[in-house]
């Protein structure tokens, strides 16, 4: 019987990450990473009681040791199986301020999570994906998806410290796609363009129609569909936006 | 009972178009357009005998009257139902030659099919999609997908007359996406990057591994998945390439 | 004594073209092409009486014979000298209208002038530039500059028929840059982003500050500076916008 | 008599920086920043003895205090005059290695110099440029130019840690261009695409023709010409490559 690989999602909370977790948990045991256990505890319980398999690991993705430790925990919990899907959904906070009022900390925050975290996460998952890529019985090629934003392709005024790390992440994703596709790993950069309809956006969204909001369930479905692409047809970049979005 | 809408595919032959036709025929009655009836006759027969519903219409997409006439035929055959999905898969032939040996005809050929044809096709399908967008019971938002190529985003030496029309098509798709999304129509530009594994490429592909070839079935699956995206999560551009493709 | 090469500017009127003509006439005999002789007559007179050398030729750039005939006239007037600089400043008219009200003629107009005209113009000038590129005593590498617009890199709603040809022109310029640079010809695409401060824009600009208007003299200066770049440092694309432009 | 503003160049050595310094020193007193005094000592002497005015300041651009201290030194040396031109020519070292052999240090090096350094440098120069922008007698709008690379727009395999910071810098430059242009400051991102013909590249270039090498004097001339653009015609991005470059 083929070994059941796992999926890992970094950046899980009450928002998109929870929809991603539920979707991928239908197919794989999942490992959910977030700094704060409160971000995943209820979700882990929900998935496990719905017949799925989930563990949550308190992880600071911007800290190399913390990421390594998380993957040791995963290996122990899931018997060292390979990795089928990894989603990097962590992000530094949104910053918009006049450049001359910007502090290096504003830039660093985005950098630490968006870029360094993506490096640590990729380095931890890729070897486990290369193993999965060699498994002839694998249902889908192993897939790593990086969640980007409007600011991954635009750099508006007062957004220098937010867009910088996002553009860097897009570069990293593109480079990894080219390096690892020939080895059977599918790398995707997703440009999430719009305000997602999640609890923490409710105040911002209160006067906005449902169709002007990005559905977290729509994002989860698209990510899953990307994961199911075969070796003869990888998508390396998608944009996703609600129908009322201006772009 | 809700009216069953149709899907239309322009540019059907022994290649990608036939896979698209088979995929969309699982869900909708399909209309297949090609200049030469030989391109669709066997396929129409196959779909109809497999339990689907298909008609083929000999159409010159670069001729406005021919396109209008095709849509009249569709309306008659399918009782004037709205349109759920339209795929513009027609393309002028590939041209690569030194610019000073280029003739205006080389440019015109691509222009006629890639750009003018896309205009006629879009103008014929969009009103039928706007009707479908108003149908509250519709399963998926109406979707129009334009098939692009590597040359839609690159313009290499000796490719001026091929890339020109492809870039124009991408502009047109982008503009339509912005104009029609708020009205509920989903517009996608697909960058097909690689040589597709279809009968007419066999000679070119004979020394190339399966995983360096784009699978037409993979393209069809991705197009279908794009069509199933909801109003709160439209993708407007994807790239699709085989894992061994260099880009 | 080295042969004095000529410069040619297609699309000369009371606007940017006249500033380009005056600037390049300081260095070279110039040939000014416009459909309507009224567009260049006063300018030709002005340049000739200011000590420069200019001829005007009534030309329909979208007509191959007309372009060929214009270059025969130039060869006769200027003793068959090579070409040092060619500026393609012609453009189909601006179109913004709902896509379903668009006619194929709206698209054709832009296509004819923006794309086909650029093909004819390039095919006429490039051989004369290749000759100049071989002239060891030439002061600057021969340069062909295509005038693009905001719509060369954006494709907003209701702009499908305008942006299409502009994107095609950009593709063509990029391809020519790659094909002809190794032969010593410098090809540039200029993205003119903003409303130019020329007589025909006065109504549109009347409430707009000077610094929100693109200066035609600024464009001319930048084009000239691009022409003076040496073989070890070609720029193939620039954007030019006034300081108050939002982008 | 109008106050003579200064120009500052970060990243000066035996290469491009020295050509930039000489060019801008023809018009302004210059301040040259490099970590190692050996990088600027001879050049400072040369400029001063050729009739220009130059100071060199040992600066670690990735260290906020070091940058602030450098600008205090400049203010003292040049009587607190405003800044006319600032060139950020510093760059982390080139890295190309398999991603799984990459260390966070490889990424950090590029980040520190390419991105954080650009932030500190911009924050130090922009207030001095805003002052210059208000000077009605200023000959040219104040200009800040960021030196990018091929990797600013491409992200090839094994280049994740090099391209990441470069893309981030491009985002930052774009954002600053939009924020500060309306205040009269001209911001440019220059894509330097090719190997520059400078002493440290000699080994790499030894079998390569002169016309396949980027001329540092060509870069300096183009930077200067960009600086002379007026408020009604700013270029915010250029590419520069030698005629034999493949792209």
Direct distance between the N- and C-terminal alpha carbons of chain C, in angstroms, rounded to an integer? 48
The pLDDT > 90 percentage for chain D reads: 91
CA dist B116 and B107 (Å) reads 12
Distance from CA of D51 to the nearest CA of A (A): 35
Phi, psi of A190 (to 5 degrees): -110, 120
| Tokens standing for residue C102 | 């668009």
Structural domain boundaries in chain A: 6-240
Q: Is the dihedral of CA D11, D15, D18, D23 positive or negative?
A: negative
Distance from CA of A235 to the nearest CA of B (A): 5
Is the model's pLDDT at A31 over the cut of 70? yes
Chain A residues touching residue B221 (CB < 8 angstroms): 228-230, 233
Is the model's pLDDT at D184 over the cut of 60? yes
Chain B residues touching residue A181 (CB < 8 angstroms): 241, 243-245
pLDDT tens profile A62-106: 999 999 999 999 999 999 999 999 999 998 888 899 999 999 999
Distance from CA of B208 to the nearest CA of C (A): 27
Tell me how many residue pairs between chain B and chain C have CB atoms under 8 A apart: 122
Of A94, A47, A89, nearest in space to A201 by CA: A94
Query: What CATH topology corresponds to B6-240?
Result: Rossmann fold (3.40.50)
The pLDDT > 90 percentage for chain A reads: 91
Task: Kindly determine whether residue D178 and residue C230, on different chains, have CB atoms separated by under 8 Å.
Answer: no
pLDDT tens profile C83-107: 999 999 998 888 899 999 999 999 9
- What does the pLDDT read at residue A109? 93
List residues in chain A touching D: CB distance below 8 A. 64, 98-100, 102, 104, 107-108, 111, 115-116, 119-120, 122-123, 126-127, 151, 155-161, 163-172, 174-176, 178-180
Chain D residues touching residue A120 (CB < 8 angstroms): 104
CA dist D202 and A142 (Å) reads 43
Tell me how many residue pairs between chain C and chain D have CB atoms under 8 A apart: 108
Under 8 Å between Cβ of C153 and C170: yes
Can you tell me which residue has the tokens 């911002």? Answer: A204
Tell me how many residue pairs between chain A and chain B have CB atoms under 8 A apart: 109
Chain C residues touching residue D230 (CB < 8 angstroms): 215, 218, 221
Can you tell me which residue has the tokens 């001879």? Answer: D42
CA dist A106 and A94 (Å) reads 9
Chain B neighbors (3+ CB pairs < 8 Å): A, C
Task: Kindly determine whether residue B175 and residue C168, on different chains, have CB atoms separated by under 8 Å.
Answer: no
Chain D neighbors (3+ CB pairs < 8 Å): A, C
Phi, psi of C131 (to 5 degrees): -65, -45
Can you spell out the DSSP letters for A66-105?
HHHHHHHHHHHHTTT--EEEEEE---PPP----GGG--HH
- What does the pLDDT read at residue D12? 95
pLDDT tens profile B42-83: 999 999 999 999 999 999 999 999 999 999 999 999 999 999
- The average pLDDT across D137-141 equals 95
C241 three-class SS: strand
| Tokens standing for residue C98 | 């709902």
Is the model's pLDDT at B194 over the cut of 60? yes
- pLDDT range class, residue A145, cuts 50, 70, 90: very high
Of A191, A140, A186, A184, nearest in space to A167 by CA: A191
Nearest to C238 among D231, D238, D245 (CB): D238
Under 8 Å between Cβ of A236 and A188: yes
Chain C residues touching residue B100 (CB < 8 angstroms): 123, 126-127
List residues in chain D touching C: CB distance below 8 A. 141, 178, 181-182, 184, 186, 197, 210-211, 213-215, 218-219, 221-222, 225, 228-247
- The average pLDDT across C8-24 equals 95
Distance from CA of A159 to the nearest CA of D (A): 6
Can you tell me which residue has the tokens 């981030």? Answer: D168
| Tokens standing for residue D124 | 């130090």
Of B158-162, D13-17, D24-28, minimum mean pLDDT range: D13-17
Q: Is the dihedral of CA A73, A77, A78, A84 positive or negative?
A: negative
Task: Kindly determine whether residue A123 and residue D99, on different chains, have CB atoms separated by under 8 Å.
Answer: yes
| Complex ipTM more than 0.90, yes or no | yes
Chain A neighbors (3+ CB pairs < 8 Å): B, D
Chain D residues touching residue A160 (CB < 8 angstroms): 119, 171-172, 175-176, 179
Residue B200 neighbours by CB distance under 10 Å: 10
List residues in chain D touching A: CB distance below 8 A. 64, 98-100, 102, 104, 107, 111, 115-116, 119-120, 122-123, 126-127, 151, 155-161, 163-172, 174-176, 178-180
Chain C neighbors (3+ CB pairs < 8 Å): B, D
Task: Kindly determine whether residue B240 and residue A243, on different chains, have CB atoms separated by under 8 Å.
Answer: no
Nearest to A100 among D115, D123, D161 (CB): D123
Q: Which chain D residue is nearest to residue A100, measuring alpha carbons?
A: D123
Nearest to A211 among B197, B232, B245 (CB): B232
Q: Which chain B residue is nearest to residue C120, measuring alpha carbons?
A: B104
- Non-local CB neighbours of B169 within 8 Å, separated by 6+ positions: B114, B115, B118, B146, B148, B152, B189, C164
pLDDT tens profile C165-221: 999 999 999 999 999 999 999 999 999 999 999 988 888 888 999 999 999 999 999
| Tokens standing for residue C38 | 């009224």
pLDDT tens profile A151-204: 999 999 999 999 999 999 999 999 999 999 999 999 999 999 999 999 888 888
Q: Which chain A residue is nearest to residue D105, measuring alpha carbons?
A: A116
Phi, psi of A91 (to 5 degrees): -155, 140
The CA radius of gyration of chain B, in Å to the nearest whole number, is: 17
Q: Is the dihedral of CA D216, D222, D226, D227 positive or negative?
A: positive
- pLDDT range class, residue B2, cuts 50, 70, 90: low
Q: Which chain A residue is nearest to residue B133, measuring alpha carbons?
A: A243
Chain C residues touching residue D241 (CB < 8 angstroms): 181, 233-234, 236
């Amino acid at each position: 019987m083929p070994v059941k690989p796992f999926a890992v999602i970094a950046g899980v909370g009450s928002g998109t990450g929870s929809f991603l977790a539920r979707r991928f948990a239908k197919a794989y045991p999942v490992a959910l990473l977030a700094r704060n256990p409160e971000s995943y505890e209820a979700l882990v319980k929900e998935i496990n009681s719905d017949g799925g398999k989930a563990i949550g690991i308190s992880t600071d993705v911007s800290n190399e040791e913390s990421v390594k430790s998380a993957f040791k925990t995963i290996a122990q919990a899931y018997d060292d199986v390979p990795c089928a899907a990894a989603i990097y959904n962590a992000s530094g906070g949104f910053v918009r301020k006049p450049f001359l009022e910007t502090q290096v900390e504003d830039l660093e925050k985005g950098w630490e999570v968006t870029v360094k975290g993506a490096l640590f996460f990729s380095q931890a998952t890729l070897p486990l994906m290369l193993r999965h890529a060699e498994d002839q019985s694998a249902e889908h090629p192993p897939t790593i998806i990086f969640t980007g934003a409007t600011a991954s392709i635009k750099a508006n005024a007062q957004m220098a410290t937010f867009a910088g790390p996002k553009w860097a992440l897009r570069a990293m994703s593109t480079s990894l796609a080219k390096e690892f596709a020939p080895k059977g790993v599918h790398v995707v950069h997703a440009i999430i363009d719009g305000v997602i309809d999640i609890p923490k956006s409710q105040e911002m969204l209160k006067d906005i129609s449902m169709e002007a909001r990005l559905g977290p369930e729509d994002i989860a479905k698209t990510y899953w569909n990307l994961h199911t692409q075969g070796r003869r047809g990888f998508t390396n970049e998608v944009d996703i936006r609600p129908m009322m979005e201006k772009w």
